[in-house]
Amino acid sequence: MSGKALSSSHRALQELRSKIFSGELAAGSDHLESELADLLEMSRTPVREAVLTLESQGLLEMRPRKGVRILPLSPDDMAEIYDVLTELESHAAERAAAENFPESDLAALAQAIDDMDKAIADTDLDAWAEADDRFHGELVRLGGNSRIQSIVAMMSDQVRRARTTTLFMRPVPTQSNEDHRKVYQAIREGDAATARDSHRQHRQYAKAILIELLDKHRMRFL
């Protein structure tokens, strides 16, 4: 028994999020408030509240009389998001390295890297994506800036839906984990400049790959 009883607006928030990520609410699609209320079996009030929040998180847009639009992502949007992630995560990496954490505090980071290796060996892309998320999340956590944490989380959410698509049309990300290891090493050794530069390079490379991929496949929106 999970004795929860969470509020309707909170449930609306997480159900809408999950339906956006899964694609059940497709990018570019419009939905009336009443339609979403029916879908979630609640009144419009908590739906509106959740939608308001999701709007300010950049996942959707309210257009009176046209419905709630799930925001699609153009290649330019992707570039913007990756640039934000590059800047903020690199800073986090630098600060994490400067902290000179004992190795035990970096266990989660190391674990994520190992899990990615394993996922690649198993060619389990979902597991890889999950561990990659974990690595980046842990990195910004170690960076110690709560605002960076939440901004990065927001940006990651925005690309999450798209990644489901892109992940499966690109080569297995083997290079990526070498980068991760390099960042990890630098943090472990307290080498802030290297941590920063390695991570920046990692993200810029990932961005280039992605943009090229989208371009090659003529994907204008996702």
Partner DNA sequence: GCATTAATTTGCGTATGCATTAAATAATCC
Partner DNA sequence: GGATTATTTAATGCATACGCAAATTAATGC
Q: Which residues bind its own copies (CB under 8 A)?
A: 48-49, 52-53, 56-58, 80-81, 83-84, 87-88, 90-91, 145-148, 151, 155
Q: Which does 52 bind (CB under 5 to 8 A by kind): its own copies, DNA, none?
A: its own copies
Q: Which is nearer to DNA, 70 or 120 (CB)?
A: 70
Quick check: 90 and 206 in contact, CB under 8 A? no
Q: Which is nearer to its own copies, 127 or 137 (CB)?
A: 137
Q: Which does 58 bind (CB under 5 to 8 A by kind): its own copies, DNA, none?
A: its own copies
Report the alpha-carbon distance of residue 54 to residue 17 in Å, rounded: 8
Question: What's the closest the beta carbon of residue 146 comes to its own copies, in angstroms?
Answer: 6
Q: Which is nearer to its own copies, 83 or 179 (CB)?
A: 83
Q: Which does 147 bind (CB under 5 to 8 A by kind): DNA, its own copies, none?
A: its own copies
Q: Crossing angle, helix 125-143 and helix 75-98, to 10 degrees?
A: 50
- Find the farthest-apart pair of alpha carbons in the chain and give their distance in angstroms, rounded: 56
Quick check: 20 and 161 in contact, CB under 8 A? yes
Q: What is the chain's alpha carbon radius of gyration, rounded to the nearest angstrom?
A: 19
Q: Which is nearer to DNA, 36 or 139 (CB)?
A: 36
Q: Which is nearer to DNA, 49 or 99 (CB)?
A: 49
Report the alpha-carbon distance of residue 121 to residue 177 in Å, rounded: 12
Question: What's the closest the beta carbon of residue 56 comes to its own copies, in angstroms?
Answer: 4
Q: Which does 165 bind (CB under 5 to 8 A by kind): DNA, its own copies, none?
A: none
In the complex, the residues that contact DNA under the rule CB under 7 A are: 5, 7-11, 32-34, 42-46, 48-49, 62, 64-68
Q: Which does 46 bind (CB under 5 to 8 A by kind): its own copies, DNA, none?
A: DNA
Instruction: Categorise residue 117: left if φ over 0, alpha if ψ from -120 to 50, beta otherwise.
Output: alpha
Q: Which residues contact 116 (CB under 8 A, 6 or more apart)?
A: 128, 131, 132, 135, 176, 177, 180
Phi, psi angles (nearest 5°) of residue 61: -140, 135
Q: Which does 56 bind (CB under 5 to 8 A by kind): its own copies, DNA, none?
A: its own copies
